[in-house]
Structure 1
Amino acid sequence: MNANHKSDFRKISIKRLNFVALFSKYSKNKRVIQKLKSIIHTNDAKNILLYIPLDIEVDIKPLINELRREKKIVYVPFMEDDSFKIVKYRLPLHKKKFNIKEPTNSFLKPKKIDLAVVPIVGIDVLNKRIGFGKGMYDRFFHRLKYRPKIVFIQLELCKSKEILSDNYDIEADYIITG
């Protein structure tokens, strides 16, 4: 695999997602969130890993609030070293490395997550995740002692016709796009 090709695909995908975010984000967010709610309900997920969205990602903040009202336990990534740990979602959020917002650190051991919702920059022909290139999600799931259901979400599908992934790149059980 040519590393330059993966980074080229990532750049093209990010450019495309920025364009989509400018012109049709609202309607795509609604479609993705409706499909995601169905998957959460179908899997009877109670402990859910979500994320704090960047501008080019599906805005799941309304879903976070809805799930918390339903007494689901919502976790989000908290960057730590070369990966992240999961912490309970709570306010206030603080802007950290890579312009990502996070709640404050939690020292409580999280419960086993049932379902993980993972933002993607794209996928390759094997349906493996292409992210922002830091490998944080790959390391997180590799270190996890179990495998929850994994859902990739994206405003618009960016898929390569070639194999761009490495053997450690994660795969999803579901892929939802707007």
Structure 2
Amino acid sequence: MDKKEVRNIMSKRRKSMSEQEVNRKSKTIIEKVMNTEEFKKSKNLMVFLSFDNEVYTFDLIDKAMDMGKKVVVPYTVKDTYEIIPTLLKNIEEDLEVSSYGYLEPKKDKITAVQEEDIDLTIVPGLAFDKNMNRIGFGKGYYDRYLAKTKKDSKNMAIAYEYQVLEEIPYDDYDVKMDYIITEENIYKNAE
């Protein structure tokens, strides 16, 4: 199977999930994230804004902000496939629906944060494997972004257990995950 086939299969599977299943599994996954040392010690946290039955991240964002953490969310630059990490101050006022259909910061609310200042990044994806590889949505946004973060910054994918396969296709430029957290397991990169 190539990456495109894996994306199609996983995208269909995720879209078939009920709202109750998404909510139940997301709650468990977010609790696991919040109990990790990496989350507890992080001061600047980048979190993707979930949509389309992804693990629901808005509770994590709310709780992190309540804990006094700086929460950073991605603003995507379509023509260069870059992410601008943007400080989120107010969920209600700072976000709008992007051309891709998901929420992202309003252009006039962008307060860029340097990649080197981010301690922990919560990463989306369509498929993962037990070797900590990730298949995203095919544009390389997160691979480019993660390549710019500091060496001791951690990345943590959140996914449903069915998204973690034995092995997936990957390329040399794909960035491996430090952690993959599902409703059933926490996978850690042994490297």
* Residue 126 (structure 1) aligned to one of 108, 111, 131: 131
Partners in 1 of 2:35 and 2:66 — Cα distance? 17
Question: Which secondary structure does the structure 1 equivalent of 2:100 belong to?
Answer: helix
Task: Quote the residue 1:155 is aligned against.
Answer: 160
Partners in 2 of 1:55 and 1:42 — Cα distance? 25
Q: CA RMSD in A?
A: 2.1
Report sequence identity in percent.
30
Structure 1: 5+ residue runs without aligned partners? none
Task: Quote the residue 1:82 is aligned against.
Answer: 81
TM-score (norm 2): 0.82
Contact kept, 8 Å, 1:121 with 1:158, in 2: the verdict is yes
Contact kept, 8 Å, 2:157 with 2:177, in 1: the verdict is yes
Please show how residues 4-153 of structure 1 align to structure 2 within 5 Å. Answer: 5-39=2-36, 43-80=40-77, 81-89=80-88, 90=90, 91-105=93-107, 106-110=110-114, 112-124=117-129, 126-153=131-158
Contact kept, 8 Å, 2:85 with 2:112, in 1: the verdict is no
Higher relative contact order (CA 8 A, sep 6+): 1
Task: Quote the residue 1:171 is aligned against.
Answer: 176
Distance 1:125 1:65, change over 3 A: closer
TM-score (norm 1): 0.87
Partners in 2 of 1:147 and 1:85 — Cα distance? 20
Question: Which secondary structure does the structure 2 equivalent of 1:99 belong to?
Answer: coil
Partners in 1 of 2:39 and 2:130 — Cα distance? 27
